[in-house]
Amino acid sequence: MALSQVVGRLIGVRQHQVDPGGGGADRVPRPTTALVVGGGIAGMSAAVVLAERGVAVTVLEAAPTLGGRLGAWPEALADGSQQNEHGFHAFFRQYYNWRSILRRIDSELGFLKPIPGYPILSEQWPTEEFGRLPPAPPANLLALLLRSPSLRLADLRLMDRDAALPLLSYDPVRTYAELDDTTADELLASLRLPDRARAMLFEVFSHSFFNHEAEMSAAEMVAQFHFYLLGNPEGLAFDCPDEDYATAIWEPLTRHVEKHGGRVLTNCAATGVHRDAEGWRVTTTDGGSHPAGHVVLAVDPPALAALVAASPDLAEQAPELAKRMPAFGTPGPPYAVARYWCDGDVAADRAVFNGVSRQPTLDSVTLYHRLENEPRRWAQQTGGSVIELHAYACESGVPAEELAERMRRELVALWPEAGDLRVRELRARVEAQAPAFTPGSHAWRPGVRTDANGLYLAGDGIATDFPSALMERSAATGIIAANHILRAEGGAAEPVRSIRPRGLLAGRTGPNRQNTT
């Protein structure tokens, strides 16, 4: 164990148990049915746990493939079919609940490979490295500050230390009470950091949550700073699958659910959620009507708001949920993904994954031919490369191809040799499905349990009262939804874990109890 992890454990930086699980039979003692609307991380996490406990669970996925924003699908190229994906995702090592679900299909997680380094590219300043830090705080923060050329000792003296204190003192109640009405942009400005330090150390980080810092809650930014850097013993290290997401994750998880008696239906979009004397019923575009005792709605915010609006019963059964939907259903800004199949390659020393600072559109660059096996084979056969460009929060109303070209030009400014690559194929898209974390949104953000008996929510926009984000929040809320059903039906719940619940400098007085929502 690294020295920094030993120190981290001494000061309480370790896994924390949110829900110990157990408390019932290994399998539900009576016939129990559940519908899960949405086949992404949240929905499939719920389905895995329910199916294993003997619940007759059916997953209804609107798309032809599973995964949501972690989806993958075949693309027909001129020289054969290739899998395409929704965008690069880092599987951070403090994603305890998501990794627990993935261990169902590979107990050793052998399909996840470590990604060396985490460079941040800039046209204005030299590249900085976020990776290869000591794994646990406070050593990782000290190492970052000591070695970063963006922040010198003199800058630390000029920094507003009182303004910086919230970054080190996250509290799941106080942080939101004090900072949720403030923007992340205002908090960063109050630190009085040099512009380079703000751009390279903080803006890249905040963009990763698919929100502009001028439109994102400062409390959310503090919470994620705690979750990714200051509250976990794993640090910023992350892994990625060596196969596309369909091959590595969704096909095996589907087989696992089906092995335990569950069903996974694709091309089956929900059109309404209804309540009758027998329980819940979900109608679908194919004319189907699916009855169940429990329902988990595990879809993105716009889809959830649309489904609630199309379900008049919910206004009566869950009036509080219906009241929150107009604000919750407004997504964050659009994001763009462009995958290029090219003749030739970039320089051999370019990193597999790169964050990007202060370009107008481009936020990250991923070299898929150095990451996944299928693109690697294609590149070896053709002498080419497969490069993905991602804009996490881009301008609205711009066509995908135009955003792709903007990102390509911005990449050439960073890596001049990319300008010499001939584009053989391009697949570009723009979507707006990620949750918005606007100032003041914490008060009305729904949690897993709704005000209707037997109806639950899951997803990365759903509130938790313990630190979580992105894929991990999706998995955690899916498991929590399943646990509510299992406890109601006499089944044993699944353990839920998280990181240190409060910041290193948070006050140690008062309650520190974790409750799932």
Closest C-alpha among 194, 203, 217 to residue 130 = 203
Closest C-alpha among 278, 168, 157, 224 to residue 460 = 224
Q: Return per-residue pLDDT of the chain as tens, 517 residues.
A: 554 454 445 445 678 999 999 999 999 999 999 999 999 999 999 999 999 999 999 999 999 999 999 999 999 998 888 999 988 999 999 999 999 999 999 999 999 999 988 899 999 999 988 777 777 677 777 776 667 777 776 766 777 778 888 988 999 999 999 999 999 999 999 988 888 888 887 888 778 889 999 999 999 999 999 999 888 888 888 999 999 999 999 999 999 999 999 999 999 999 999 998 889 999 999 999 999 999 999 999 999 999 999 999 898 999 999 999 999 999 999 999 999 999 999 999 999 999 999 999 999 999 999 999 999 999 999 999 999 999 999 999 999 999 999 999 999 999 999 999 999 999 999 999 999 999 999 999 999 999 999 999 999 999 999 999 999 999 999 999 999 999 999 999 999 999 999 998 887 433 333 445 6
Tokens representing 50 are 């329910």
Answer left, alpha or beta for residue 23, where phi above 0 means left and psi between -120 and 50 means alpha: left
Helix (H) or strand (E) run with residue 240 in it: strand 238-241
Which residue do the tokens 């723009």 mark?
A: 430
Closest C-alpha among 381, 416, 400, 399 to residue 340 = 400
What is the 3-state secondary structure of 85-137? ECCCCCEECCCHHHHHHHCCCCCCCCCEEECCCCEEEECCCCCEECCCCCCCC
Name the architecture of domain 13-67+244-330+446-498. 3-Layer(bba) Sandwich (3.50)
The pairing of strands 496-498 and 16-19 is antiparallel
User: 460 — phi, psi (to 5°)?
Assistant: -80, -5
Question: Residue ranges of the domains in the chain?
Answer: 13-67+244-330+446-498, 129-229, 334-431
**Rounded to whole angstroms, how far apart are CA atoms 353 and 367?**
7
Task: For residue 456, give the 3-state DSSP assignment.
Answer: strand
What is the 3-state secondary structure of 167-184? HHCCCCCHHHHHHCCCEH
Q: How is domain 334-431 classified at the CATH fold level?
A: Polyamine Oxidase; Chain A, domain 2 (3.90.660)
